[in-house]
Amino acid sequence: MSKNIALIGASGYIAPRHMKAIKETGNNLVAALDPYDGIGIMDSNFPEADFFTEFERFDRFVDKWRRDTGKKIDYMSICSPNYLHDSHIRFALKSGADAIYEKPLVLNPWNIDQLKLIERDGSKSL
């Protein structure tokens, strides 16, 4: 059964590998976020996916998509710069998605404790 995936950091260095894996495993890229909007690889592989350059609109889409479709985003692939991983992992978990990310998990070790609390309070994992 295919999974619904959202991607943060679509123009990043690692993002094409994540998109390739999403496609090769038969999963569905629902939406992507990046401040840069020249993402040709996304257009050619996932023309139906929604794309956002502003986090606030992406956040609204993720919430509204779940309510309107009755489906959930199963995974959030995080390909953003390292210093944003903590924030984007929090968003994924609070949105009810499992987080997929490249290392490092966080830059400051004390941020792991907060992620563990969010993970414990919900049913999603890192």
In a domain, 61, yes or no: yes
Domain containing residue 56: CATH number: 3.40.50.720
Distances (CA, A) of 55 to 31, 38, 64: 12, 17, 14
Kindly report, residue by residue over 91-126, the tens digit of the pLDDT: 999 899 999 988 877 777 777 777 777 777 765 555
Q: How far apart are CA 83 and CA 65, in angstroms?
A: 27
In a domain, 34, yes or no: yes
Residue 86: which domain range? 4-121
Task: Give the per-residue pLDDT at 112.
Answer: 77
Q: Which residue has the tokens 């619904």?
A: 4
- The beta strand positions in 1-126, using DSSP E, are 4-8, 28-33, 50-52, 75-78, 98-101
Q: Which residue has the tokens 């794309």?
A: 51
Task: Give the per-residue pLDDT at 125.
Answer: 57
In a domain, 115, yes or no: yes
In a domain, 44, yes or no: yes
pTM: 0.86
- Higher local confidence (pLDDT), 120 or 30: 30
Q: How many domains does the chain have?
A: 1
What is the average pLDDT score of the chain? 88
